[in-house]
Amino acid sequence: MSKTNETDKIYKCAFFTSCKENTFKCTMCNKELSCTGSGYTNFKAHIIGSNKDKHGNYEELLNKYKQSILDKEKQHSLNSYYGTPTARLYFGWLEYVIGTNQPFNCCDNEIVRKFTRLDAICAKTLITYMEELQIVVQDKIAQLLPNKFGLLLDGWSTGNSNHFIGLFAVFGNMNNERQHLLLRMAQLPELSNQNAQNHRDYIIESLAIYNKNLHNILFLVGDNARVNGAIADLCGKNLIGCASHLLNLELKALFETPAIIIVIEKVSQLMQKLKNNNASGRLKRLTELKPIIKQDTRWSSTYNMLSRYDELSKYLNSRFFEKNLIDEKYFLSNDEEKDAIQLLKYLKEFQDATALLQKNDLTMLEARFILDEVINKCPTMANRLSSDAYILHNSDFTNGIVKVLQGGVITESEQNALIPFLLDNTDNINAVDVTVDDSLVARVAKKAKITISSSKLYMNLEFVPPTSNVVERFFSIAKNVYTDIRRSMSPQHLEAVLFLKMHLDKWNVPEVQTAINNRKKSKKFNNVCDILEYDDDNNIHDADNNVNDDSGITSMLDISNIDTNDISTMDT
């Protein structure tokens, strides 16, 4: 890119946001510009050209944007060069191994060492400071967590009988944007017991790492399983059932109807046969498309399978595909093929709803609109998708959140359910209900639905997530890390790798330096304690000379003056 093009590009970055494909909106006048090429001249011309009267202070804003870029570059430079050479070395290896899913012993590999600029360290050292760094980042996250937040939880079972629980904190930041932070992904305290009490103990144990407890929790979000409801009851919190899970349950029930089962099973059997060596080899000559097999756990895989059949059908029916490679009974008849295409079209809107529920910033109100649209298309799905469905843990809680976001009216029971969301300066919900307690208006309003001003009573509830999809996506990342060749990794090391991977933006050379310093202080303290012993009266004695010298011991225990920057004697 030329220097002139780079100069023009800053106008696009500073004053325009992408609103749709190849279209950008000016943040100062809201005018939309289309850009299909690689140039940026039109963005600059818009700002300084004929619309200059609407962009009067653009120079000041442009200078602020340039300064922010310089500040970021300066901070990155400080992060890169702050710390001792050893800290920068350890950071380099940790970032490489964790960021690119490399095995721990790659730093012992001669070929890797040959093509890297990093000096050699051993895998044991890498693991040691990875664990120390995890503690440093946990302390950093403890400072980022607000006093009140929600918890998202879900479970993940691996192929070698390990079961992990993912735990995320969710809260609204200063810009009222939803923020998720991974708190922990570990095994339950009692490995052989997955009851609600064991999960509660896990939550309490995890919160203690960040100096938090159940009083700091506003709500839980998870699948609509009974155990999650029991966990919420034991914790004394309300559970928000994952909207994506509710839709998945209803669609799985839909697929159990006899007419649909026949079509799905016929397509599924054909897809299985198309994966055979001979059939797949012939199909590869005609198209790069591959057969898709449905999975029982996700309904969308059934939709994808039907969609792929629709794409492959023209190749399967062509004269170039040898049908004798597969038994004729597995091919769909003309009527069955029409049924499959019709089912695919019917499921298209459900697929769209599923995709919308995957949005990171989806609010409870938006999720309610989506589920209501699904019910309009298929009324029988109201069994689990309605606002008062039997499967919901507390419909007053979820409906109250929706109504506050909508600016609607809430009932007294919904008011009571929303007490955790009251602003700190509001003692009770009746503070703004009525002015005269014993009046007829007050008595009628108490029995009827009462309009509440959410801006006066409640915190901004847009941060409350309607799904636990964040945890599901995290487990997809975990699967890419915990591959077959890394199954020997201990659960503790897997947790450390995933924790640091999810928080790559929260550690750099300074945090690694802190980990080194903490490690050195800990080793120094342990070395001092190793040469001490206590008698029956709890008097400290020198283990070698048996001398009770308080002044000497005090000087030995004084580790506040340890030179943490001197790491030349640190063993690896």
Each residue's pLDDT tens digit in the chain (572 positions)?
444 555 677 777 887 887 777 788 887 787 888 776 667 777 777 777 756 566 777 777 888 877 777 766 656 555 555 678 899 999 999 999 999 999 998 888 888 888 888 888 999 999 999 999 999 999 999 999 999 999 999 999 887 778 899 999 999 988 788 999 999 999 998 888 889 999 999 999 999 999 999 999 999 999 999 999 999 999 999 999 999 999 999 988 888 888 888 888 888 888 888 888 778 888 888 888 888 888 777 778 888 899 998 888 888 887 777 777 788 788 888 888 888 888 888 888 888 899 899 988 899 999 999 999 999 988 989 989 999 999 999 999 999 999 999 888 889 999 999 999 988 754 443 333 323 334 433 443 444 344 444 446 888 899 999 999 999 999 999 999 998 888 888 999 999 999 999 999 999 999 999 999 999 888 766 665 555 544 445 454 443 444 444 433 333 334 344 444 443 333 33
The pTM score is: 0.73
* 3-class state of residue 238 by DSSP: coil
- Gap between the Cα atoms of 327 and 310, Å rounded: 20
Residue 213 sits at the vertex; the CA angle it makes with 210 and 214, to the nearest 5 degrees, is 140
From the centroid of its chain, how far is CA 409? 32
| Buried/exposed code over 88-100 (b: 16+ C-beta within 10 A; e: otherwise) | bbbbbbbbbbbee
